Structure 1
Amino acid sequence: MTIARAKSKTVFGVPVPVACFLFAMMLPTAVSLNLGGLRLSAYRLVLLVMFLPMLFQLLANQRGRLHIFDALLLTHCFWALLALIKWGGFAQGLESGGIYVIECAGAYLMGRLYIRSYQDFAAMARAYVGLVLATLVFTVPEALTGIHILHDSLASAFGGPKAAYIEPRMGIERTFGPFDHPILYGVFCASAFSLAYFVIAERKLTKFSNVSKVVGVGLATFMSASGGPYVVLMAQIFVCAWERVLGTVQGRWAALFSFFAIAYLAIDLLSNRTPFHVFVEYLTFSKQSAYNRIIIFEYGTAEVARNPLFGIGLGDWIRPVWMSESMDNFWLVTAVRYGLPAFFLQVGLLLGMVWAVGQRPNFPPAWRRARHAWAFTLFGISVAAATVHLWNALFVLFFFLIGTGAWMLDAQPSRQKRKTRRPVPIATCRPARLF
């Protein structure tokens, strides 16, 4: 039940390039080099060093066959590069676009090329969850005292600024961990939930070690006191519970998508607000935040309508004078900056890859759990990305996680017969126990 894998050195089972990448993501952006006005953070340095070797390996089919999703990713990056050149001219566009390509394509290729088997994926999951749990040593005291231990100590060592003051929520200080904002820390932690539940705990919550890892991820997410990370976590818990209860039911995912569609139509028909307005209002902490995100959506989509092909690059967007330039919607930022083609290529990569991996038959149980962990993680981040922007470490993390599922496109399970449960009709199914 293994697939051919390229030989590479590992650290605790994790390929060395991936280990360096994950470690570099845990360093604040203050830990960086400035070369001619270009900021090279730790994870950018790792991706920059590895980019050309990874691109060569991809084009030479050295670590899995080249497929359409690689083409979608590279075309997305090429279009974003064109949009930035159109905005700032060749020199400025090449500098800004080059960094975008390094971060977007480089992070994807890191996961795509170095996670080539279930063993690689499981080792990555253990390392990722381990990093999240390790941050609790610092973020629990941080939430109680307001002293940003990790961020400020590392930033000060490299002459960088300390964490900005942010109002407490729910009686605790919002924690930064090693990241530049509580939202970044929270999404980083919440993204580990499905990996902890499906891969490390193997869906079994009867052992203390398993429960402690899953609960630890939830606790770390809570320390951020941010709505976006909570959405990532809740979305994963919801689909995990759906899979747990209806795991043997044929057509359960079609039923889930039908449920979402019916809910959307019901809100649209019965409410005097759009479903987007309702969604944002109930998934943010304050009415002010919800109102701000609604205004961002209205002015952002108007900007897309004015510049549908190449967007506005890194230029300023039209908005009320009292609004910040920050746009808290990752999907909208992509369309505004790089145009609708870049947006559809990005969405096509994500949805197409999840659908293609989901169609692969005869996966052994461990591989199916890995598939669920990967897809549910991306689902949670994608939902939250409608209300938060993914930038710096979270941007590269998102594309890295997309790439880590590519091995399942090439995976060749053993042909020996296995005992598998035949899906039962939904009408005769009894709900399974949740735990």
Structure 2
Amino acid sequence: MEAERLRVRKDNSLLRKREPIPFTRESNYSTPVRPPDNDELPGEKKGLPWPVLLFLVTLVVPWILPIGPLRLSAYRIVLVVMVLPCLFMWLTGKVGRIRLTDIVVLSFCVWVFLSLIMVNGLSSSIEPSGIMFIETFGSYLLARCYIRGPDDFYNTVRALFLTNLFLFPFSLIEFVLGYNILHDMFSAILPTFNYPPMAARLGLSRVQSVFDHPILFGIFTGSTLALVHLVLGHGDNIARRFTRTAIVGTLAMMSLSGGPIQALAAQVFIIAWDSALKFLKSRWQIFLSLLALATIATEILAKRSLLEIMIATFTFDPLSYWFRRLIWSYGWASVLNHPFFGVGLERWERPDWMPPSIDNIWLYYAVHHGLPAAGLLLLAVAFAIWAACSAKALDSRLCAYRMGFIATLMAFFLTGWTVHYWGAAHCLFLFLMGSGAWMLERKANTGIELKTDTIKRIPSSHQRPSPHRNAFTRRILSETKLQISRKELPVLNPKGKVADLLP
């Protein structure tokens, strides 16, 4: 009895200690493994890396700094400074092994450079291909190197939302009154881009804010809707979650452009489909099957492609629909005439009355740099989505992060058929593409491993496990901050077998 009393007193003293006490081999368990810091509350351990924060801030700074023949925007300067350190980190394996998406994005930049050399010569190709490399691979690599876990991902989304929140009051004034206060404030300090007047729609001004075009404003703000809803909103109360989502959606709709509204619709549909059919593991296989059937049905019954129907649905001006059809017809004819290297910096074949703009990012690169360039960029998006889908060992929070990442890339992919991304929108597109690479590098948290080969027999006088032993074990497990099911909470019963700890 005295020995039992001493043992109970010892167990109670252990329970009062704040530091977790590891299991020993004599207790038939290996030492519990604490999950990595990335499993803590989002943003709890560290803030956003300063290169990422500086890059995101400069995306909404419209200053143009002429340096010799170059016109460098603020975000280009950040990318120029960071591209060599990021390349060093990437090549030396400091940010994990080289991934397939990395190679495809780099191959896209190399092909653009090669196509310009073949069409326009080396001397005319260095500057545009260098800018393309900085804005494309530089933006992608910045996210690839500095967003290394869920905390960084969460803080990145939070910074993007705060950027949208900063733009909101100025955009509302421009939307109602037609006065771009923010652009005038920046232009009073340093040179900015030219601010062409845009025709009003529905009696309201199309918000352009600090971007070159209202479409770019809508893409920049609206592309983060799924991220804000699923990443910032995960575990938050419903009111705050939907308020943030509504702010992002309202900002994008202030552009009064079909492309951004199409991006919003795509993200809302993906979120709704995933939430409504959460119980079905094959919900996305079903979705792809229905999409294929819808594509075939529209081709047969409507005599139009699904892309044409989508363009007609999300277009404010009916004239824009017919103009985009002309762009596709003449643009595709140019691709067939120059399939490998495109037309480079030369004029692509079209009527004299048609402007040079191509409202389709995939067609744009096919026309100017050949089908391989467009195919490589499409493959980069596909591989980034496939890599995120292949990620393992994700809890509910990280699954929500993954769905936000996939929905964002899907929105960029779909909207790209009606919009060309350039400037800050293009950099954000590639940056977000590289922001999910960390998901592939997560390893499963093994928790507690039972050693069944060293189980010791407990004397038969103890017919049941001591309640103090059970409480002590619960204390140890809670210190590890693991969520473990009943089957993963073993304890030794008096007969030396594995029994369940929970009642």
Q: How many residues align?
A: 413
Aligned residue for 1:337? Answer: 368
**SS across alignment from 2:346:** coil
In structure 2, which of residues 38, 42, 50 is the aligned counterpart of residue 16 of structure 1?
50
Q: Which residue of 2 aligns with 1:119?
A: 151
Structure 1 unmatched ranges of 5 or more? 421-435
Partner of 1:186: 218
Q: Quick check: 1:406 aligned with 2:437?
A: yes
Which amino acid in structure 2 is aligned with residue 22 of structure 1? Answer: L
Q: Is 1:287–2:321 an aligned residue pair?
A: no
Q: Is the 8 A contact 2:295 2:305 kept in 1?
A: no
Specify the alignment match of 1:210 in structure 2. 241
Equivalent residues of 1:148, 1:163 under 8 A apart: no
Task: Tell me what 2:186 maps to.
Answer: 154
Tell me how far apart the structure 2 counterparts of residues 12 and 292 of structure 1 sit (CA, whole Å).
Answer: 49
User: Over aligned residues, Cα RMSD in angstroms?
Assistant: 2.0
CA distance, structure 2, for counterparts of residue 298 and residue 252 of structure 1: 36
Give the gaps of 5 or more residues in structure 2.
1-34, 448-481, 486-503
Contact 1:364-1:413 at 8 Å conserved across structures = no
Corresponding position of 2:107: 75
Partner of 2:165 in structure 1? 133
1-structure distance, mates of 2:351, 2:281:
50
Counterpart residue type for residue 297 of structure 1: W
Q: Does 1:103 align with 2:145?
A: no
Say whether 1:144 aligns with 2:171: no
Provide the rounded CA distance (Å) in 2 between the counterparts of 1:191 and 1:217: 9
Alpha-carbon deviation of 1:11? 12
Q: 1:38 aligns with which of 55, 59, 70?
A: 70
The answer to whether the aligner puts 1:369 opposite 2:416 as a matched pair is: no
Identity of aligned residues (%): 36
The residue aligned with 1:318 is 349
CA-to-partner distance for each residue in 1:152-172, whole Å, 9 max, x for gaps? Answer: 321243244552111112332
Map of 2:289 onto structure 1: 258
Asked if the contact 2:392–2:442 (Cα under 8 Å) also holds between the matched residues in 1, the reply is no
Q: CA deviation at 1:4?
A: 8.4
| Equivalent residue letter for 2:66 | N
Question: Whole-Å Cα distance in 2 between the matches of residues 410 and 265 of structure 1?
Answer: 38
State the TM-score, normalized to the length of structure 1. 0.91
Q: TM-score, normalised by structure 2?
A: 0.79
Is contact 1:198-1:369 (8 Å) kept? Answer: yes
Per-residue deviation, residues 121-160 of structure 1 (Å, max 9, x unmatched): 0000111111112211111111111001112321243244
- Greater Cα offset, 308-317 or 105-114: 308-317
Whole-angstrom CA distance in 2 between matches of 1:367 and 1:241: 18
Aligned partners of 1:80, 1:406: CA distance in 2, in Å?
A: 24
The answer as to whether partners of 1:3 and 1:413 remain within 8 angstroms in 2 is: no
Is 1:25 aligned with 2:88?
no
SS state of the match for residue 91, structure 1? coil
CA 203–319 in structure 1, closer or farther in 2 if over 3 Å, else same: farther
CA distance in 1, matches of 2:59, 2:201: 26
Larger radius of gyration: 2
Q: Identify if the C-alpha distance between structure 1 residues 55 and 135 changes in structure 2 by more than 3 Å, giving closer, same or farther.
A: same
Greater Cα shift, 249-258 or 272-281: 272-281
SS in 1 for 2:297: helix
Aligned residue number for residue 64 of structure 1: 96
